[in-house]
Structure 1
């Protein structure tokens, strides 16, 4: 293991050449000030990494709770453009399997090579990034915990849940104003109703999860205040 190139207390930019995605993947690697190769760390993987680092300030919120949390590192996974994000994250896209393969194989190999980590993985995502986090958790038992900020839920997700054979654990959040969110395409989408239905399906299956409907819409103003409680829920000691 070699972590010398990554600074403690900062997000270090890093790139991986991905065979699965046939492109360069830009990452942000956060090691807490207390990081030590002498002890194992959990791994938080945040899709839409730019937003989680800049808008959600995930690493800063982790720092504030550091003494209450399981020691962790954070991997911010950035997307290059809106079109690629949709292709790799959308629950109905055939390309999402390539993103899943990248995380479960290539990113895992990178993490295991460079850092002292435990088996604990926590996925995070907002909107479509929450959808890929959810699909990943439903398809691979090693990545079975996820914080879902207003995921797009489609029939593909429902089918993956129906086929689920391993335990999972979620925090699922959605804004009460998300009945008609305007997409980047100009169309509108109802995030609230499908999220309510997915929550009901999780409850019917007896799956451990917290579900909250928040005052607000499909924005980081709604999601950011929830990050601290999410970290404590999954990583609190």
Structure 2
């Protein structure tokens, strides 16, 4: 492997959010040979530090790039205070609307100003695992003209998500990568015990009925970073193919 793929280039940006009333340290991954004269697709990830450290996504992306299995992409990793996570990520959370506005009105402009990114709807992907996948889908439902490509790993979809999907006439605009581990039938959360296999099946059926473009993967796995890390390369190749 070319040695340039062995180094991870991670920058740091401070985002002071007026919507949330707090500051977040955003980590930004730049691909090898990053060039300001080139516009790169942008991937925004919730639970950002976990994707970096537990998902090993920067290392995995570099490996895929070295094998010409994906195109170069810039990634923004959004942290969250775990004590505020449900309030910001859950569609019934107190700061859910403020969080979505932070992404759309504060983070996106920051990334456009500081980095050479293409945030057209066919280039921007927003994603996460568990509730991070849930909030990513809700951003796309509320702001389809800004984001319509979603990465959801083991989405912790709630009844509110089902209701919101049911109200939409058509989801033909939506492209979503949806994965679930077959052992995720009794997941303990702040919102009680959830059968995420059944709920993801229900959401998947709704997405198909509304004519969304869905890449749906169910396989052996549980609600852990071991599972999410293992299947990340497939998600990256889905959104950022070389052909």
Task: State the partner residue of 2:8.
Answer: 9
**Secondary structure of residue in 1 paired with 2:100:** helix
Q: 1:163–1:36: structure 2 CA closer, same or farther, 3 Å change rule?
A: farther
Structure 2 distance, partners of 1:149, 1:108, is 22
Question: Offset of 1:60 from its aligned partner?
Answer: 1.2
Question: Offset of 1:10 from its aligned partner?
Answer: 2.0
Q: 2:176 aligns with which of 161, 170, 185?
A: 170
Task: State the partner residue of 1:3.
Answer: none
RMSD: 1.7
Structure 1 gap segments, 5+ residues each: 1-7
Kindly report which structure 2 residues correspond to 1:60-139, keeping only aligned pairs within 5 A, or say none.
60-66=59-65, 67-80=68-81, 82-118=82-118, 119=120, 120-139=123-142
Check conservation: 2:131, 2:157, Cα contact below 8 A. no
Question: Offset of 1:224 from its aligned partner?
Answer: 1.1
Check conservation: 2:221, 2:227, Cα contact below 8 A. yes
Structure 1 distance, partners of 2:8, 2:49, is 17
TM-score where L is the length of structure 2: 0.88
Check conservation: 1:40, 1:71, Cα contact below 8 A. no
Question: Offset of 1:51 from its aligned partner?
Answer: 1.1
- Runs of 4+ that moved beyond 6 A: none
Are 1:46 and 2:45 an aligned pair? yes
Check conservation: 1:91, 1:152, Cα contact below 8 A. no
Task: State the partner residue of 2:3.
Answer: none
Structure 2 distance, partners of 1:163, 1:59, is 37
Check conservation: 1:26, 1:79, Cα contact below 8 A. no
How many residue pairs get aligned? The number is 228
Question: Offset of 1:186 from its aligned partner?
Answer: 9.2
Check conservation: 1:216, 1:222, Cα contact below 8 A. yes
TM-score where L is the length of structure 1: 0.90
Question: Offset of 1:170 from its aligned partner?
Answer: 0.7
Structure 2 gap segments, 5+ residues each: 1-6
Are 1:140 and 2:140 an aligned pair? no
Check conservation: 2:16, 2:24, Cα contact below 8 A. yes
Structure 2 distance, partners of 1:212, 1:117, is 29
Question: Offset of 1:86 from its aligned partner?
Answer: 1.0
Task: State the partner residue of 1:189.
Answer: 194
Task: State the partner residue of 1:19.
Answer: 18
Check conservation: 1:14, 1:27, Cα contact below 8 A. yes
